[in-house]
A and B are shown apart, each in its own frame.
Chain A
Amino acid sequence: MQADNFVTAVQRHSARSRWRRTAILIVVAIIFLIGFVALILGGVALARFSDSSTPHYENIVEHFKYGSIGSEPESGLPYWLWQALPKLYPEEFKGRDDYKAFGFLYEEDEDGSQRDLPIGVSQRRVSGVDLVWLNCAVCHTGTVRMTEDEAPTIIPAMPSNNLDLMRFIEVVLDAGPDPRLAPDNLFPILDDMGAELDWIDRLVWRLIVMPQVREGMLDQRAKLGELLEAQSDWGPGRVDTFNPYKLLEFGKDFDDLDDDEIHGAADFPSIYYQGPRDGMQLHWDGNNPSLQERNLSAAIGAGVTEETVDHESIERVADWLLDLKPPANPNSEDPEVLTAGRDIYMDRCVACHGYRGDDGGYVFAGETLGKVTPIGEIATDPGRLNSYTEELSVLQRRLFEDDPDYAFENFRKTGGYANMPLDGLWLRAPYLHNGAVPTLHDLLMPEADRPGAFVRGLDLFDVEQGGFVAPGCTPGESVEAGFCYDTDAPGNSNAGHLYGTDLSAEQKSALLAYLKTF
């Protein structure tokens, strides 16, 4: 028998195959090590980048102002980028660290300091990254001051009279190709702001977050750029709801749009007391009688998609709005004048616009209230009506097709503008769908006597004329505050709705007194 140092055959066998076992062990160890590292990294990534959540606000008003409706995942900006943009583009933000330059409204937190996000901007963590974007309140919260000296009172559900959405969008989209948005430029600013990004965060921001954000900006810029260029400036308190919708949601090209449909900017509406409005022709042109579809469509305008929509959140807001009445009108008028004005109103206006009951509350009653008056008769600017096309109504009815609870079924092209209830009228200036007439007083004037250009975007209540103070201005010249609205610009006409313009000065005065109580 062979003599060697091995005591057993098993030992000899093991010694002979040691190199093979060692190699296997090394391979296994390497695989294990790689697996271990992958596991650790995966665990860290999972912990960091799988968190998807949004703050919950128990208070419904807080939810309305700051709660997410699902716009952030597809349309939003990273929270820290949102905070950094004012520092990157001080010229666009008027040197401020916030978004007040665009009319965003800020509240104070409990310790009296300004909140980090304005009203109408919500936060949601998506795959571990905090994103922010718009909710309903951004377009439907405004301010009013009864005197020049007092601080603005923020009123949820009134139309936003401050927000210059078009300029905000342009600034954000123009940042896409701007080299200042490069990570190496951005990171020091984020560090100064206390973002505390560690090396993993920086890697993710460099490789994933910023490329995706900039790609999104460039994509939207490419889609919207020509439209925004071609349109009249919206100015504060206005939005073109449906043309961006066509380009972003349905992939239409700007060249596909007819010339007469591109000037669709209109005022933000108030959204009080929606319950009695159910079944009326909603939107300025009355294109849908369903509150749910109108709400969901508006949410899409704010940036939600079929995939990201937070129905529960939207329905919370919708339920709250069903019974939310506008704040009481602070005006007090001579009772005799009011009686005279009421008589005129009941004779000339009530059929289309309802009336104010004896208890001061608005009464939703009127033969044609909430119905569409043909454009030939109302004769106001047709831009907004034309912006909503038959083709768009067909495309909209394809949204949420797979979800019977939310499928759009009621969008239809109409031929005019809807007769709106007038509750909370004192907070809804300027008037007409496109906000082309600054005050109620002016609305009772014939077209030639209505202001041709006026400042909008101010919130000082005009006790005399009903609406907000809107001094005259010269288009093209800068104004101290607000925006010079030019009624000669496409889509901005102050024509039409000549009801009551034929009344005598005394009758108009009485009717104005009555209208100011709405």
Chain B
Amino acid sequence: MSEDVIFQPLDWPNLKVKNRIFRSSISGRFDNEDGGVTQTRINWENKFARGGVGAIISSYVPVLMEGRIIAGYATIHDDRLIEDWGKLAEAVHLHDCRYIMQLSHSGRQMDIPGVYNQQRPALSSTSNKESLHGFLCKAMTARDIDTTIRAFAQGARRAREAGIDGVELHASHGYLITQFLSSGINDRKDAYGGSLQNRARFLLDIIGAIRAEVGDGYHLQVKLSGIDHNNVIPWEGKGNTLDEGIEVAKWCEAAGADAIHASIGSLFPHPLMPPGGFDFETIASTYDAMISSGVDTLRNYLLFRYPLLRPIFKWIWFRMKKHYPVEGVAAEVAHAFKRNVKIPVICTGGFQDAALVRRLINDGWLDGVTITRALVANNDLPQQWRAGRDNPDRPCTFCNKCLLNAPKNPMGCYELERFGGDWDRMVQELMSIYETKPDLQIPDRAAA
């Protein structure tokens, strides 16, 4: 067994992981319009399992069709989807890699609603439009809340039935659960609004419902923003403080969560999450796919499209980044959680340097790290670390072009300089997940 702490296994009550490296959630428009998993997704996830991560946290997986961020992401809203998710889990398990499904609901943060959702405002804690893009929404009724809580529980059940190793509740980055948690968003007057305890009620009810559905022996972790920094648009409220985040983490632990996944920010993307650059040329070429989604999207497109207007958005976006590092941007949040809860804490946000990860684990700031962009750039990052290269030869530049391409293009690395400026090589890499075609069927052959 390696002496490197990064490759020491995690032996949690409901989950055992071979090392401390988790692939954090990331998606792409790989899946079927009805929420079904495709071969492409299996290929995508398999790349990371093959690369050596200990566990994969799935893409954002809606528990209801009306909770999708982007049409084309796989869901877990129906039992008929269990079998295909099971195949994905099976593929990952072949590499001694655990698979954790991130149970999610977009709430009002619905980037591309698709034909299923485009005719109705999204459900949220509030009826106030989303702050960055102007996505419309309507405050959930008690019945909506109850339905959604039960959907999360059913999602967990389906995940377990699919052979998936655990679930994660996405309670950060501005999605539905954050929309209840954040004082900068939640303006409810009922039992789910007002005090922190009331705002946390939705999350804690979901944890309770899941535990009631799947019992205590199934891994359940919560991805939680320690600080909201909700005032990206300057006139918005600041949202929850770190003290409030810690309090929520403690309540999650008490409610039955097995681990906390530390993050930061109450919308996504957020200047601090994912940390790094913001390439205007890229966003100007992809954001047009979102113009019809919100009432402020055309404004944003103009800000992205025209260089004379870009300084306005630059000021809005980059003013918050001061005093925060790119690598380990949420490490202090994880450390704060770690000091206040007994359950394990993992952390996301710009990890690529093994030395930093090693130090944070050794110093007791966190138990493991979750990585996305550095693994998209180098699927075999764990193997490189194990080989003693703390930083890869062609590192991720944290340019965020992968994220900014998401509304329109396949998920992957778009940093051309990592491909020596060879566009064709970059596209070839993007297409690699499509190379192995699923078994194509001829629909009417059996009847013929």
Which residues of A are at the interface with B, using a C-beta cutoff of 8 A?
1, 6-11, 13-14
Cβ of B294 and Cβ of A9 under 8 Å apart? Answer: no
Cβ of A9 and Cβ of B120 under 8 Å apart? Answer: yes
CA distance A7 to B115 in the complex (A): 9
Chain B residues with CB below 8 A from A10, complex form: 136, 292-295
Cβ of A3 to closest chain B Cβ, rounded Å: 9
Chain A residues with CB below 8 A from B113, complex form: 8-9
CA distance A13 to B297 in the complex (A): 14
Which residues of B are at the interface with A, using a C-beta cutoff of 8 A?
113, 118-121, 136, 292-295
Cβ of A57 to closest chain B Cβ, rounded Å: 48
What residue of chain A has the Cβ atom nearest to residue B122's Cβ? Answer: A9
CA distance A34 to B118 in the complex (A): 40
Chain B residues with CB below 8 A from A8, complex form: 113, 118-119, 292-293
Chain A residues with CB below 8 A from B118, complex form: 7-9
CA distance A156 to B196 in the complex (A): 92
Chain A residues with CB below 8 A from B119, complex form: 1, 6-9
CA distance A14 to B293 in the complex (A): 12
Cβ of A10 to closest chain B Cβ, rounded Å: 6
CA distance A13 to B129 in the complex (A): 11
Cβ of A9 and Cβ of B121 under 8 Å apart? Answer: yes
Chain B residues with CB below 8 A from A6, complex form: 119
Cβ of A354 to closest chain B Cβ, rounded Å: 77
What residue of chain B has the Cβ atom nearest to residue A4's Cβ? Answer: B119
Cβ of A70 to closest chain B Cβ, rounded Å: 46
List 9 tightest A-B contacts by C-beta distance, closest first.
Answer: A8-B118, A9-B121, A9-B120, A9-B136, A13-B136, A8-B292, A1-B119, A9-B119, A10-B295
Cβ of B382 to closest chain A Cβ, rounded Å: 43
Chain A residues with CB below 8 A from B292, complex form: 8, 10-11
Main secondary structure on A side of the interface with B: helix
CA distance A1 to B292 in the complex (A): 20
New A-B contacts (17) at CB < 8 Å, excluding given A1-B119, A7-B118: A1-B120, A7-B119, A8-B113, A8-B119, A8-B292, A8-B293, A9-B113, A9-B118, A9-B119, A9-B120, A9-B121, A9-B136, A10-B292, A10-B295, A11-B292, A13-B136, A14-B295
26 contacts between A and B (CB under 8 A): A1-B119, A1-B120, A6-B119, A7-B118, A7-B119, A8-B113, A8-B118, A8-B119, A8-B292, A8-B293, A9-B113, A9-B118, A9-B119, A9-B120, A9-B121, A9-B136, A10-B136, A10-B292, A10-B293, A10-B294, A10-B295, A11-B292, A13-B121, A13-B136, A13-B295, A14-B295
What residue of chain B has the Cβ atom nearest to residue A6's Cβ? Answer: B119
What residue of chain B has the Cβ atom nearest to residue A17's Cβ? Answer: B295
> Which has the most chain B C-beta neighbours within 10 Å: A8, A13, A14?
A8
Cβ of A123 to closest chain B Cβ, rounded Å: 45
CA distance A8 to B294 in the complex (A): 10
Cβ of A98 to closest chain B Cβ, rounded Å: 59
Chain B residues with CB below 8 A from A14, complex form: 295
What residue of chain B has the Cβ atom nearest to residue A8's Cβ? Answer: B118
Chain A residues with CB below 8 A from B121, complex form: 9, 13
What residue of chain B has the Cβ atom nearest to residue A13's Cβ? Answer: B136
CA distance A97 to B113 in the complex (A): 85
Chain B residues with CB below 8 A from A11, complex form: 292
Chain B residues with CB below 8 A from A1, complex form: 119-120
Cβ of B247 to closest chain A Cβ, rounded Å: 35
> Which has the most chain A C-beta neighbours within 10 Å: B118, B119, B120, B136?
B119
Chain A residues with CB below 8 A from B120, complex form: 1, 9
CA distance A89 to B188 in the complex (A): 84
Chain A residues with CB below 8 A from B293, complex form: 8, 10
Chain A residues with CB below 8 A from B294, complex form: 10
CA distance A71 to B228 in the complex (A): 68
Cβ of A6 to closest chain B Cβ, rounded Å: 8
Cβ of A15 to closest chain B Cβ, rounded Å: 12
> Which has the most chain B C-beta neighbours within 10 Å: A6, A8, A9?
A9
CA distance A9 to B293 in the complex (A): 8
What residue of chain A has the Cβ atom nearest to residue B110's Cβ? Answer: A9
Chain B residues with CB below 8 A from A9, complex form: 113, 118-121, 136
CA distance A353 to B118 in the complex (A): 108
CA distance A8 to B136 in the complex (A): 11
Cβ of A493 to closest chain B Cβ, rounded Å: 82
CA distance A10 to B119 in the complex (A): 8
CA distance A9 to B113 in the complex (A): 10
Cβ of B234 to closest chain A Cβ, rounded Å: 22
Cβ of B421 to closest chain A Cβ, rounded Å: 39
CA distance A10 to B113 in the complex (A): 11
CA distance A11 to B291 in the complex (A): 11
CA distance A199 to B294 in the complex (A): 51
Cβ of A252 to closest chain B Cβ, rounded Å: 62
CA distance A8 to B293 in the complex (A): 8
Cβ of A419 to closest chain B Cβ, rounded Å: 77
CA distance A8 to B115 in the complex (A): 9
CA distance A13 to B135 in the complex (A): 11
CA distance A392 to B169 in the complex (A): 93
What residue of chain B has the Cβ atom nearest to residue A2's Cβ? Answer: B119
Chain A residues with CB below 8 A from B136, complex form: 9-10, 13
What residue of chain A has the Cβ atom nearest to residue B138's Cβ? Answer: A9
What residue of chain A has the Cβ atom nearest to residue B118's Cβ? Answer: A8
Cβ of A340 to closest chain B Cβ, rounded Å: 93
Chain B residues with CB below 8 A from A13, complex form: 121, 136, 295
Cβ of A16 to closest chain B Cβ, rounded Å: 11
CA distance A49 to B218 in the complex (A): 83
Cβ of B328 to closest chain A Cβ, rounded Å: 38
Cβ of A104 to closest chain B Cβ, rounded Å: 60
CA distance A8 to B292 in the complex (A): 8
Chain A residues with CB below 8 A from B295, complex form: 10, 13-14
Cβ of A414 to closest chain B Cβ, rounded Å: 72
Cβ of B133 to closest chain A Cβ, rounded Å: 10
Cβ of A29 to closest chain B Cβ, rounded Å: 18
What residue of chain B has the Cβ atom nearest to residue A14's Cβ? Answer: B295
Cβ of B148 to closest chain A Cβ, rounded Å: 18
CA distance A10 to B292 in the complex (A): 7
What residue of chain B has the Cβ atom nearest to residue A12's Cβ? Answer: B119
CA distance A14 to B292 in the complex (A): 11
Cβ of A171 to closest chain B Cβ, rounded Å: 62
CA distance A6 to B119 in the complex (A): 8
CA distance A96 to B287 in the complex (A): 79
CA distance A13 to B136 in the complex (A): 8
CA distance A337 to B300 in the complex (A): 104
CA distance A419 to B402 in the complex (A): 99
What residue of chain A has the Cβ atom nearest to residue B135's Cβ? Answer: A10
CA distance A7 to B113 in the complex (A): 12
Cβ of B355 to closest chain A Cβ, rounded Å: 47
CA distance A13 to B118 in the complex (A): 12
CA distance A11 to B113 in the complex (A): 13
Cβ of B220 to closest chain A Cβ, rounded Å: 33
CA distance A6 to B121 in the complex (A): 13
CA distance A14 to B120 in the complex (A): 13
Cβ of A205 to closest chain B Cβ, rounded Å: 43
Cβ of A256 to closest chain B Cβ, rounded Å: 66
Cβ of B121 to closest chain A Cβ, rounded Å: 5
CA distance A9 to B295 in the complex (A): 10
CA distance A318 to B369 in the complex (A): 86
CA distance A10 to B137 in the complex (A): 10
CA distance A9 to B108 in the complex (A): 12
What residue of chain A has the Cβ atom nearest to residue B297's Cβ? Answer: A10
What residue of chain A has the Cβ atom nearest to residue B291's Cβ? Answer: A10
CA distance A13 to B127 in the complex (A): 13
Cβ of B82 to closest chain A Cβ, rounded Å: 28
CA distance A10 to B135 in the complex (A): 8
CA distance A9 to B134 in the complex (A): 12
